[in-house]
Amino acid sequence: MVFMNMGGPQTTDAVGPFLSRLFADADLIPLGRLQNYLGPLISRRRTPKIQNQYAAIGGGSPIRKWSEYQSAEMCKILDERCPESAPHKPYVAFRYADPLTEEMYQRLLDDGFGRQGRAVAFTQYPQYSCSTTGSSLNELWKWRIRLEGKEPEGGGVRWSVIDRWPVHPGLIEAFAQNIEAQLATYPAEVHKDVVLLFSAHSLPMSVVNRGDTYPAEVAATVHAVMTRLNFSNPYRLCWQSQVGPSAWLGAQTSDTVMAYVRKGHTDLILIPIAFTSDHIETLFELDQEVIHEAKQEGGTGVKRAESLNGSPTFIGALADVSERHLKSGEVCSRQMGIRCQGCKSERCLEQKRFFMNTERKVEEVIR
C-alpha cells in the first residue's frame, strides 16, 4: 500500500533540494519553455525565506511522520478485514522530499514485489488534480520504466491506483468531527453565526482552464461536509498558497479572512479541506500568518479546525477506501480514463495507458 503525497523537508537543510524538485515540476508549477531556467532561480531565491518558515514550526515538516503513521495503522486494519490479501505492507512515496518515488520503488523491488507482486498507489490528495496526483503518477510510471523496463522479466509489479476519493463518507465524517470540535469552543449563542472557511491549495488558472477536475472535486467535498453538518453555518470555499505573479484560482484565503474580519465577521473557522495532515500550509501559512494577521485586525475569534492527522475516523476511512478497492478488481476510477479537455501532454497519455492497461478491466484511455 503506497501512500503518495507531495512530502516536505524534515530539516531546514533539506528545504533547498525540496524546492528545486518542486519548481522543476511543470505539472505543479507550469513555467513554460523557461522552466529549466526559472525553476532553479525561483527555488534559490525562496530557500532562505522558506527555511525560516520551517524553523518556525519546529525545524521541519511533520508530513512524513503522519504519512508513515496513517499508512501503518491502516494496514493493521486491512490485515484484519482482508486476510485474503494480507499481510499489507505500508510504503510512502513523496514527490519532492524523502522518501522519493524512486526510493520507494527500489524498496518494493528489494522486498520481492517485482515478480507480479500486487501494489496499490493510494493518493493522499482526496481530490484529483493533474498537478498533484497526476504528477505523482507520472513520476511513478517514469521510475517503473527506468527500474523495471517496459516488459520486465517476471511480469513486474502489478499496479492499481486509488486516484480520488473526495466524498467518501469516512473522510467527510472525519472533517465534520473536527469542525464540530472547534465549534464547541465558541459560546453557544454564537455557534450558528460562526463562518466556516474551507481552504484548499490553489491552482494556476492555466491548469484550471485546461479542464482540471480539482476545483469541482474540492467543492464536492465541501458540499458533502456541509450536508453532514445540516448546513448549520454560513460557509465559503477559498484557496491558499499562490506562488508567483501569474493568475491563480481565488478568492485567496488570506484576502477572504481579512475581508470578513473587516466586515465584522470575527468568528471564523479555517478548515484545511484538501490536506490529510499538518504541514507548512497549515502550521505556518494558516496558523502563523493568516490567523495572526486577522487577530491584529480584531479577528479574535478566527481559529482553525484540527487537521486529520491521527484521527481514528480518518484512518478507518483510509482502510475502507483501500478495502473496497482491493475487493473491486478495478485498477483505477472511471474518471482516470478520460483526459482533461485541454491536455496535450503525451506523458499524461502514456501514464494513463500504462495504469489502465495493467489489468484490462476498464476501457481504453480516451484521447
The answer to whether residue 279 is catalytic is no
Q: In what order do the strands lie in the sheet with 301-304?
A: 235-240, 195-201, 267-272, 301-304
27: three-class secondary structure by DSSP: coil
Q: Say if residue 251 is preceded by a cis peptide, omega within 30 of 0.
A: yes
Contact between residue 342 and residue 211 where contact means Cβ atoms under 8 Å apart: yes
Q: Provide DSSP, 185-212.
A: TS-GGGGGGPEEEEEEE--BHHHHTTT-
Q: What does the block give as the cell for 36?
A: 529549466
Q: What does the block give as the cell for 153?
A: 522479466
Which of 27, 163, 212, 320 is catalytic? The answer is 320
Q: Say if residue 99 is preceded by a cis peptide, omega within 30 of 0.
A: yes
What's the CA gap between 107 and 101, in Å, rounded? 10
Q: What does the block give as the cell for 249?
A: 484560482
123: three-class secondary structure by DSSP: strand
Contact between residue 222 and residue 239 where contact means Cβ atoms under 8 Å apart: no
The answer to whether residue 191 is catalytic is no
Name residue, grid cell 466556516: 196
Contact between residue 205 and residue 248 where contact means Cβ atoms under 8 Å apart: yes
3-state DSSP: the chain helix, strand, coil percent, rounded to 5?
50, 15, 35
Which of 88, 168, 201, 279 is catalytic? The answer is 168
Q: What is the CA radius of gyration of the chain?
A: 21
What's the CA gap between 11 and 121, in Å, rounded? 26
Residues 6+ apart with CB under 8 A from 328: none
Phi, psi angle pair for 311, to nearest 5°: -55, 120
Contact between residue 63 and residue 8 where contact means Cβ atoms under 8 Å apart: yes
**Burial (Cβ within 10 Å: 0-12, 13-18, ≥19) of residue 281:** buried
* Residues designated catalytic: 168, 320
